[in-house]
Amino acid sequence: MREPEAPAPAADPAASPASPSGTPDVHPYDALLLLSFGGPEGPDDVVPFLENVTHGRGIPRERLKEVGKHYFLFGGVSPINAQNRELLDAIRKEFAAHGVDLPVYWGNRNWAPYLTDTLREMSDAGHRRVLVLATSAYASYSGCRQYRENLAASLAVLAEEGRPVPRVDKLRHYFNHPGFVDPMVDATLAALDALPAEVRDSARLAFTTHSIPLTAADTSGPVEGHGNGGAYVAQHVAVARLVADRVREATGIERPWELVYQSRSGAPHIPWLEPDICDHLEEAHEAGAPAVVMVPIGFVSDHMEVKYDLDTEAAAKAAELGLPVSRAATVGADPRFAAAIRDLVQERAATERGLAPARCALGALGPSHDICPAGCCPARTPLPAAAGTD
Ligand SMILES: CC1=C(CCC(=O)O)c2cc3nc(cc4[nH]c(cc5[nH]c(cc1n2)c(C)c5CCC(=O)O)c(CCC(=O)O)c4C)C(CCC(=O)O)=C3C
Ligand SMILES: [Fe+2]
């Protein structure tokens, strides 16, 4: 960290009492589940993976062929699984170093290890109160409720099999937790350093996230915040502003920044969040920007949307324009992110025990809700969802 910063509020020790053995108390939880997207691990996996992803989701066949090509460029291997294994390692190390006695499991929506198989294993191992960490930091149907629907569907399979069904809770959105924001600030500073010296001070920042349909953005988060891009846009703008402010403080340079979007799919007549990163690079270039740093705040790791859509496609666009660009790393398995997860686990456990622990959050939005309220990030076709009010 390059600048002095008020220390993040530490969890109130009185609110998160150690157990009699002296280790942090995570009661009532008996396991943590890392829930992610999943990705192919070789060429033969690509088509079945895309079939899993698009099952009933109406993505045009042309787009699928295109996305399949992205994976084949990388030998049919998505980086996401290796990155989740690293994150699991980092969380387990962080738990062990602080005496947090909570086994950590991993299950995916679209590829092995599949969520249903992991939950079955957890049920058979005797776990009954499971806390879920999704690899998506923000509110949206794709980043939150869809995972909750996957949980409900997998738990229903366990019930059908006559197995005990664990109760699952989901950790709150962590977009504004300092353990998520701080590594992005450092990564942005490192990406500025990677630019040629003569354009570094005048480089602009382009914060990027996954585009989603406008209707999905408008209805993201709690009902009272619907419209105008909903919680999805508000949360990303809040993070972009936090990172831009901290980068300004660290460099002493005020630079233009914007939130832009990437990885759009779906039929062209349906409006999605804009501008697209490639259009933005063109506009920035035309407006005289000497360089752009792309900061993928919307993603937890450098998976395919980052490696292809930014490092390959957007980088090619920039090269064509003759515009110097660099790309900030995502949080990945940064130890500060692992520490944030431990903080959030202890916070939620204390809350479940009826205490009122400190709820760490930067910026104006404050800590997100623990339990998604009714009507949060609705699906086009309502499906049962776990770990929320509806
Ligand atoms: C908000 C959001 C996140 C961030 C939050 C989170 O991380 O959950 C995210 C992450 C990811 N998306 C991923 C891959 C894909 N997403 C697709 C399709 C879609 N994503 C959407 C949204 C999001 N997606 C949407 C609205 C669609 C349209 C269809 C639908 O409504 O479902 C498709 C189908 C083809 C295409 O349209 O591109 C693929 C292959 C991977 C894996 C990458 C890898 O393999 O490394 C990851 C981490
Ligand atoms: Fe996606």
Which of 36, 37, 264 should be mutated for ligand 1, with most atoms under 8 A from CB? 37
Mean per-residue pLDDT pooled into runs of 10, the chain (390 residues): 41 47 84 98 95 82 87 97 98 97 97 98 98 98 97 98 98 98 98 98 98 98 97 98 98 98 90 98 98 98 96 98 98 98 98 97 97 96 95
**C-alpha R_g of the chain:** 21
Measured distance CA(228)–CA(120) in Å, rounded? 40
Q: Which atom of ligand 1 is nearest to the CA of 64?
A: 35
Binding site membership of 83 for ligand 1 (Cβ less than 6 Å): no
As its CATH architecture, domain 31-174+333-352 has: 3-Layer(aba) Sandwich (3.40)
Minimal-distance CA residue to ligand 1 atom 28: 265
Give the largest CA-CA distance in the chain: 66
Asked if 73 and 308 touch (Cβ cutoff 8 Å), the reply is: yes
DSSP string spanning 15-80? Answer: TSPBPTTSSBP-TT--EEEEEE----BSGGGHHHHHHHHHTTS---HHHHHHHHHHHHHTTTB-TH
Binding site membership of 304 for ligand 1 (Cβ less than 6 Å): yes
**pTM to 2 decimal places:** 0.94
Same fold, 31-174+333-352 and 178-327: yes
Helix (H, G, I), strand (E, B) or coil at 213: strand
List 276's β-bridge partners, or say none. 261
CA of 316 to the centre of ligand 2 (A): 21
Q: What is the 3-state secondary structure (H, E, C) of 241-281?
A: HHHHHHHHHHHCCCCCEEEEEECCCCCCCCCECCCEHHHHH
Which of 55, 142, 383 should be mutated for ligand 1, with most atoms under 8 A from CB? 142
Fold exhibited by the domain 178-327: Rossmann fold (3.40.50)
Which ipTM score applies to this complex? 0.94
Q: Which atom of ligand 1 is nearest to the CA of 58?
A: 29
Measured distance CA(135)–CA(137) in Å, rounded? 7
Angle at 79 between CA 75 and CA 83, to 5 degrees: 155
Helix (H, G, I), strand (E, B) or coil at 108: strand
Binding site membership of 285 for ligand 1 (Cβ less than 6 Å): no
CA of 18 to the centre of ligand 2 (A): 40
Q: For residue 19, what pLDDT is reported?
A: 55
Q: Six-digit token pair at 174?
A: 């962590």
Q: For residue 22, what pLDDT is reported?
A: 61
Domain ranges of the chain: 31-174+333-352, 178-327
Measured distance CA(276)–CA(259) in Å, rounded? 10
